[in-house]
Structure 1
Amino acid sequence: MKLHRSCDVVPDGSGLVCRQGRVYGIVTFAVFSAAFACPVGFGYAAGIPWLGIPFGLFALLIVPLLWGDMLSRFRSSNWLLWIRPDGLWIHLRSYRDQSPHDRPAVVELSYAEIAQIGRHAERYSVQSRRSRQYHKVDSLQVRLRQPETGEFEAALAAGRQTRQPERVFLGFIRSRARLTHFPVSLPSPEVIRIAWRGGYNHAVVPSLRRALAELSQHAEIAEPAGETRKASSQISDAEIDDRVLELVKRGDRLDAARLLVHERNYTLTQAKRFVDELDERV
C-alpha cells in the first residue's frame, strides 16, 4: 500500500476510471431549479407575485449550492476509483473538497495485497419525530490480505478535518461549509468500503457491475454480501453511540442528529452541537 498526493495522480486513458456521475448532478440541478422557478412564475402570471417571494428567497440560498455541486463533478479531481492493469487506486478526497491538493489522499494497492473484492449492500433506517426514513447503500468492498491500514486511516481522518476555503454568495454572504461527503470508509482494519449508489448523494459511474467485471480480471470476486441494521429502538445505548459515530464518519451528519433527537431526547440544537463536536474529534 502506497499513499500519494492528489496533485501527483491524474488518471489517464488506461484502465477504468470511476467517478461521481455528472449527469446526476445536471439532473439534480435542473429539477430543483425548476421546482423553485415554477411557483415564482405562477405567482407573476396569476398577478400575485408575493406568492413566489418565499420560493425565490429560498432559491437564492439553495440553487448556488446545487450549481457548485454540479460544477464540482466536472473537475479533473472528481474520480473515486482507478482500475489499472497494475493495481487499484482509491481517491480518498471528496469531489466537493476545494482545499489544496497537496495532502496524501490517493491509495495505491497492488492486486497481490487484495484477498477479495465484492459487492456489499447495507440497509438501515433512521427514525425522526414524525417518520422513519429507510436507506440502502450499495458499495464496493475490498478485503485486504493484511490489515496494513494505519496510514490509510490517518489519511481518512485528515480528509474529514480539512478546512474548506471561504466562499462568498451574492457579494456579501460569507460561508465556510463543512464537507459531508465521504464515500470511502474503513469498517474494519482489513476492509475498505467504497459507497457506490444510494445513501447520502452517492452516484458513482459506471455501474458497480461493470467495475466488478473489470476487477474480475485482476482479483478474486467474492459473493455479494449485505447487512440490515436493526432499528434504533432495538439496540443498546453503546450501539447507538457506535451508529452515531459511524454516521458522522460517513458524512451523514443530519441522520446522526436525528438519531440523537429521537433516542436521546436531545433538542435539534443540542444534537447539532454534539455532532459538530464529534466531527471535530474523529
Structure 2
Amino acid sequence: MKVGFIGLGLMGSGMAGHLMAEGHELWLMAHRNRSFIDPLLQKGAHEAADFKALAANTQVMILCLTTAKVVEETLTALKPHLGRGQTIIDTGTTRPETTRRLAHELKMLGVAYADAPMAGGPEQVAKKEVGVLIGAEWETYEAILPIVSAYASRVKYFGPPGSGHVAKLISNYLVIGMIGLVAEAFRTAHAAQVDWQDLYEVMQNGSGNSGVLRKMMDAALAGDFDGYKFSLANAAKDIGYYASLADELGQLTPLTQAVEQIFAEAVATGHAGRNVSHLLDPAIDDVT
C-alpha cells in the first residue's frame, strides 16, 4: 500500500522503517532535518515536496506529531488536498475532543480518521514491541490493522474516534505518575544519604519494581540522567491533557494536580527539552 508519513523523529523513523520492511510504498514529507529522512530515502522511500504531493501519491497518511495544536495545523494544511477513500492515522498523544472534531470534519469529506497512539518508546519501536490503542469506526480499524501491525506487537480497539486517545492518556497518567514518584523517592534518598545502588537493588525484589524504575535508575547509577528518553515537555503536555480529561469526567483529584505540578514546574524552570529522568538529578535546578 502507498503510505504517507508526516513527523519523522525517533519514533516515526522506526515506524517508517518497519512499514518499508513489510513492503509498503513509503512517501515522506520533506523536512529540514535530514538525519531521519535521508537513510529511509536511501532504502527506497520517496520524498513529497508538499502536502499536495503527499496526498496525491498515497492512500493512507500517518501523523506522528507532538501536540493537538500541531495535528490540527497539519490537517488544516492537508485537507484541501484529500479525497474520498483516503485515511488519516494519528499516532501521537492528542486531546480526545480535538480528535473527535477532526474525525467528524474529515468524515464529511469522505476521509476516514483513526487515533492510534502508542504505548512504548523508541526502543520498543525499534524492536517492533510497541502497543497501539485505536479509536476509529470499526471498518476503519479493520482497514488499518495490517498497516499498524507492521510496527506494533499488540493492537487493541477501544471504540469510535477519540477512544484511543482517552485510553492512552489514562495509560500515560500511570507512567508519568510513576516517573514523578521514582524521582522524588531517590532525591529524598540522596538527601537522607541512603545509597542509591543498595536501595535500587533491594527495590527490585519488591512491588516497586517496574519498567519505569529500571529505565530511570539503570542509567542514573552510571551518572547518566538520560536513561528515560521522554522529554519533560511531552510529559507536561500529556499530564495536562489527562488533567483536562479527568476534570471533564469528574475524576480530577489532588494526586492528579500534584503530578501535573511536578512537570509544569520542570518546564517553567527551563528544563522542557530534558528527558524525564533528569528529575532524578539532585542538582537539576543548578543545571542550565
TM-score normalised per structure 1: 0.24
Greater RCO (Cα-Cα under 8 Å, separation 6 or more):
1
Q: Which has the higher helix share?
A: 2
TM-score normalised per structure 2: 0.24
Q: Which has the higher strand share?
A: 1
